[in-house]
Structure 1
């Protein structure tokens, strides 16, 4: 009986050693851990980076900035603005603009959902829900539902003057000027086409940026929206991308919440 136990024990050890080798778990083998840091340099201008992932992408399935490019074209903004140096650029991925239900086609998140279009009565007055208080709205389905100037102001607001990124970001808010001219005045529900126009843009044309103190350390815009990818270095400035993967999307609020409204 003792000999049988010894034999079984030996077979078990052989089987264990063999199975470990079969599954790539070789015994007594050390692996050297090599720490690698991704190179943040894009080696191209911010404009080219957008175009490479826009309407005619380098990789057919990578159209992350398609809707941003379409918005810029609708707004009449010359893309050469994204070749100028001394700037920081906030890029919008698809879900920052429109989250579309694949089954129904309905817009369920992003800028087009968060800043919907006001529905008007035949006489041009604002339509309201039965409570008589809540404006009747619908999510936009195209940039063309917004006035050109609203879209133009929105994208000008996302081009920051100066350099801002992980190299100089702190957990204290940094306020920067943008290409949006100061003097923006909020509209009213009655006179505005969309909630974007009713809320209006930052009256000083400035934006707040801050480094969030958590394990992910994202950059946050106007105390509301986290960048999902930051510190990408184009040849003419840094690029921070808002491209949420959630089905609710995320919008960049076009004014500082610290401003008294």
Structure 2
């Protein structure tokens, strides 16, 4: 009878629980048919419209994701009509890919504590310092002395132009044709284009094949003295590599180095991928495949 009492008590308890659920409005969940849905990647606008609507004069207040990219394009003299031409793949840079500033909290509001960046393009590719005779100034360790950029005007206009041209690829590339192996696309950057040594970008060695370390991460090498006739900074063929990698949401990766934060947005004139890294010291997008 001991077992019977336990079973009966359990049944009574279950009955009371069900009644209580109904009494207090907690009706037992009924079965329903699951309907699978996929977010529509079509944005129904050109890449230019998308960039400008989230740029320096946003449609939604505060949504200035591409503000510093837009300012850079203007400084470089790149006509935004390039972002309206069809059959292209566009890499758009969020503000954090260009510069991240240190912050502090004042009265409950987070504000920049300095104009000197801690991450992004202006930090990783700082401006080089020169001697009175125009040669690169070296530290006691034999490295080129640099200082972080704090505005686009600190950089060579020609280099900024080249950088953004390397982020516009000719051809359609997205999740519809992505592969785990790299696909090389020609960009608007002409072959055999090099960066000047006015910033550390011009000290970045460009190879003809990728250099990986023991754990499979791409290795970047910088020099203190350039060799005449050798390309630095930009891909020697003016191309960009894209591939899909294994991971959460199977993101796309650029040049075996930068994992895109948003991919596969379909504009009316091509596909858009966004690089907007997080953290206080994010790395910029590297404009060379090897």
Counterpart selection for 2:120 from 79, 88, 110: 110
| Match of residue 171 from structure 2 | 162
Do residues 145 (structure 1) and 154 (structure 2) align?
A: yes
| Match of residue 223 from structure 2 | none
| Match of residue 258 from structure 2 | 225
Q: Deviation of residue 163 (structure 1)?
A: 0.6
Deviations along 1:110-157, one digit per CA (max 9) or x if unpaired, are: 1111111112234433233332x1222122111111100000000000
Do residues 208 (structure 1) and 241 (structure 2) align?
A: yes
Q: Deviation of residue 17 (structure 1)?
A: 5.5
Counterpart selection for 1:241 from 244, 269, 274: 274
| Match of residue 224 from structure 2 | none
Q: Deviation of residue 225 (structure 1)?
A: 0.4
| Match of residue 198 from structure 2 | 193
**Count of residue pairs brought into register by the alignment:** 247
Q: Deviation of residue 32 (structure 1)?
A: 3.9
CA distance in 2: counterparts of 1:17 and 1:33, whole angstroms: 28
CA distance in 2: counterparts of 1:51 and 1:220, whole angstroms: 24
Query: Given the superposition, is the C-alpha separation of residues 35 and 247 from structure 1 closer, same or farther in structure 2, using an over 3 Å criterion?
Result: farther
Give SS of 2:90's match: strand
CA distance in 2: counterparts of 1:51 and 1:28, whole angstroms: 46
Do residues 177 (structure 1) and 189 (structure 2) align?
A: no
Is there any run of 5+ residues in structure 2 with no aligned partner, and where?
1-5, 105-112, 205-232
CA distance in 1: counterparts of 2:161 and 2:19, whole angstroms: 67
| Match of residue 26 from structure 1 | 27
Task: Give the TM-score normalised by the residue count of structure 1.
Answer: 0.86
Query: Given the superposition, is the C-alpha separation of residues 206 and 28 from structure 1 closer, same or farther in structure 2, using an over 3 Å criterion?
Result: closer
Is there any run of 5+ residues in structure 1 with no aligned partner, and where?
none
Mapping for residues 44-59 of structure 1, pairs under 5 Å: 44-59=45-60
CA distance in 2: counterparts of 1:248 and 1:38, whole angstroms: 31
CA distance in 1: counterparts of 2:123 and 2:183, whole angstroms: 28
Query: Given the superposition, is the C-alpha separation of residues 185 and 244 from structure 1 closer, same or farther in structure 2, using an over 3 Å criterion?
Result: closer
| Match of residue 63 from structure 2 | 62
CA RMSD of aligned residues (A): 2.4
Give SS of 2:103's match: coil
